[in-house]
């Protein structure tokens, strides 16, 4: 494996800064890989292509966190249409109304300051 000049996470974050959710694809396995890494966990190969998700997915699992202070909020696992899963949250809807099977669309959240942008989702009707 050659030296790495840019970390997988750095590439991922740069895509988010452009408003994109990036993932890797292993041509040898014919499968997506997420989170980004330096080798494919299916084959061990370092051949991984970067792709950009269309940003559509389905809620796989969901919970509502009730913090000691502050309002309850959603945490969900989203299955993106390209076949990879990530943790996120569904916004623009009460956290307890987020349902497994719900169709959702990507929105890049930009917390500002030192924090990297990250992918959140919103309900998507009829997709």
Partner 1 sequence: MGGLQRGSAAIVGVAESDLGQVAEGMSVVDLMAQGVSRALDDCGLRLKDVDGLFSATTQSRLSVVALAEYLGLDPAFTGSTIVGGSSFEYHVAHAMAAIEQGLCKVAVIAYGSTQRSVGRKQASVREVNPYEGPFRPFMPSSAYALAASRHMHQFGTTREQLAAVAVAAREWALLNPAAWEKKPLTVEGVLSARMVSYPFTVRDCCLVTDGGGAIIVTSAERARSLKKAPAYVLGCGQSTTHSSISNMPDLTVTGALAAGKAAYAMAKLGPADVDAVELYDAFTINTILFLEDLGFCKKGEGGAFVEGGRVAPKGSLAVNTNGGGLSYCHPGMYGLFLLIEAVRQLRGECGARQVKDCEVALAHGNGGVLSTQATVILGTSAAL
Nearer to partner 1, 2 or 111 (CB): 111
Residue 15 binds to partner 1 (criterion: CB under 8 A): no
Give every CB contact of residue 122 below 8 A, 6+ residues apart in sequence. Answer: 90, 91, 92, 93, 104, 105, 107
Give the 3-state secondary structure percentages of the chain, helix then strand then coil, rounded to 5.
10, 40, 50
Q: Are 104 and 57 in contact (CB under 8 A)?
A: yes
Assess 24 for contact with partner 1 (CB under 8 A). Answer: no
Q: Which is nearer to partner 1, 2 or 10 (CB)?
A: 10
- Work out whether 125 is an interface residue with partner 1 (CB under 8 A): no
- Binding partner 1 (rule: CB under 8 A), the pick from 14, 51, 118, 124 is 118
> Phi and psi of 11, rounded to 5°?
-60, -45
Interface region with partner 1, contact rule CB under 8 A, candidates 20-28, 46-54, 55-63: 55-63
Measure the CA–CA gap between 30 and 33, rounded to whole angstroms.
10
Binding residue for partner 1 (CB under 8 A) from 62, 80, 102, 104? 62
Q: Which residues bind partner 1 (CB under 8 A)?
A: 9, 35, 60-67, 72-73, 75-77, 85-89, 96, 100-101, 109, 111, 115-116, 118
């Amino acid at each position: 494996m050659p030296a790495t000049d840019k970390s997988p996470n750095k590439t991922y974050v740069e895509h988010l800064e452009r408003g994109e959710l990036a993932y890797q694809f292993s041509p040898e396995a014919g499968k997506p890989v997420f989170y980004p890494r330096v080798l494919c966990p299916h084959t061990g190969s370092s051949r991984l292509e970067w792709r950009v998700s269309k940003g559509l997915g389905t809620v796989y699992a969901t919970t509502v966190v009730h913090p000691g202070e502050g309002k309850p909020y959603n945490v969900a696992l989203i299955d993106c249409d390209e076949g990879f899963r990530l943790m996120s949250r569904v916004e623009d809807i009460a956290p307890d109304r987020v349902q497994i099977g719900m169709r959702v669309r990507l929105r890049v959240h930009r917390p500002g300051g030192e924090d990297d942008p990250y992918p959140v989702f919103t309900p998507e009707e009829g997709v």
